[in-house]
Amino acid sequence: MRFRELAIPGVFLIEPERHEDERGFFARTFCQREMAARGLDVRVAQCNTSYNRLRGTVRGMHYAVPPADERKLVRCTRGAIHDVLIDLRPDSPAYGRHIAVELDAENRLGLYVPAQVAHGFQTLADHSEVLYQMSTFYDPDCARGVRFDDPSFAIRWPQEITVASQRDRAFPDAVLAP
């Protein structure tokens, strides 16, 4: 696996190294040793799948607070997504900034999301599916979010937003620490 740290500290794009032959290819998509060597939390408490019927669907921006602050390894296993992360850690040099990457079933990239970094995506194709490996169990009392269209972040979604949940639309504007 190849690891590339992105502009938000602790966020890694993970590319599987393919071993190809006449059958196709084989590639590791998770390795406890390689991830731990980079200081990444390798616990897996649960795995989740998000299936999205329509192109333009937005999910996010979600994160969790202690004691259930979660780390995620995200992959798009069908279709394609525009994946966005917002650094909400006040002590981070990237605090308040966001980045975006495209994940799809063809590039097979993984995205490691540290705790206190909000995560969301927009589907770029109908019938897109996203797989999450989560470091902690979901705790609704610790679940938080910021609005995907919050002017504080000025996220530019690549397509018209066709579907978003009422919950995601109702998150309050972020109040960023100075």
How is the chain split into domains, by residue range? 2-170
132 an active-site residue?
A: yes
Structure confidence by residue, pLDDT tens digits, 16-38: 999 999 999 999 999 999 999 99
Q: According to the model, what pLDDT value does residue 176 have?
A: 84
- Alpha helices by DSSP H, listed for 55-151, are none
Burial 97-135 (b: 16+ CB within 10 A, else e): ebbbbebbeeebbbbbbbbbbbbbbbbbbeebbbbbbbb
| Mean per-residue pLDDT of the chain | 96
Q: Using the predicted structure, report yes or no on whether residue 95 has a pLDDT greater than 90.
A: yes
Contact partners, residue 154, CB within 8 Å, separation at least 6: none
Q: Using the predicted structure, report yes or no on whether residue 74 has a pLDDT greater than 90.
A: yes
Whether this prediction's pTM lies above 0.85 is answered by yes
63 an active-site residue?
A: no
Q: What is the dotted CATH code of the domain comprising 2-170?
A: 2.60.120.10
Of 82, 95, 98, 132, the catalytic one is 132
Which 8-state DSSP code applies to residue 163? B
Cα torsion 151, 125, 7, 155 to 10°: value is -10
8 A C-beta contact, residue 129 and residue 76: yes
User: Could you tell me the pLDDT band of residue 175, with boundaries at 50, 70 and 90?
Assistant: confident
Of 62, 82, 98, 119, the catalytic one is 62
8 A C-beta contact, residue 41 and residue 71: yes
